[in-house]
Amino acid sequence: MSARKPYIRPMTGWWRRDPFFVEYMVHEGTAFFVLAYALELLAGVLCLASGESAWNAYRAVSGSAVMLLINFAILLMMFYHGYTWFKIMPRTLPPIIISGQRLNAPIITIAGIVVAVLASSLLLAVIYFLARGV
């Protein structure tokens, strides 16, 4: 009786074999930029709590050209992360049926992006008017 060797599927580069998995891994990679921005905001809150001199030092570092470039890169990655999140949303939702027809995936994606942009605009408007004292 001969013992067969078990089949072991190679795992090296599994995500590079399918464009869907490549996009998924890039999406997951952009989460590090979201983490970086969260840590930057946490540093700002801690400096604000530490006093005026720490806050002024944080503002000076935040306003430097290097930090502005880093924040611009973070912003781009966060936009991509958000877009890909809305892009996979139709796959994670249960089917949405309107008038007996299943809602198309692009409509769900676009609706999610539009709602996010409107909510962000409303939030920015509220902050703007509160800052002006209206």
Q: What pLDDT, in 10s, does the model give residues 37-93? A: 999 999 999 999 999 999 999 999 999 999 999 999 999 999 999 999 999 899 888
Give residue-wise pLDDT tens across range 97-107: 889 899 999 99
Specify the range with the lowest mean pLDDT, choosing from 15-24, 26-35, 42-51, 60-69. Answer: 15-24
The CA-based angle 52-55-59, given to 5 degrees, is 135
Residue by residue, DSSP assigns the chain as -PPPPPP----TTGGGSSHHHHHHHHHHHHHHHHHHHHHHHHHHHHHHHH-HHHHHHHHHHHTSHHHHHHHHHHHHHHHHHHHHHHHHHHHHSPPPEETTEEPPHHHHHHHHHHHHHHHHHHHHHHHHHHHHT-
The whole-number pLDDT of residue 57 equals: 96
Mean pLDDT of 111-116: 95
Query: What is the distance between the terminal CA atoms of the chain, rounded to a whole angstrom?
Result: 87
The amino acid occupying position 130 is: L
The whole-number pLDDT of residue 134 equals: 65
Q: pLDDT tier at 123 (50, 70, 90 boundaries)? A: very high
- Global pTM reads 0.74
The whole-number pLDDT of residue 29 equals: 92
Domain spanning 11-90, CATH class = mainly alpha
Q: pLDDT tier at 7 (50, 70, 90 boundaries)? A: confident
The whole-number pLDDT of residue 2 equals: 66
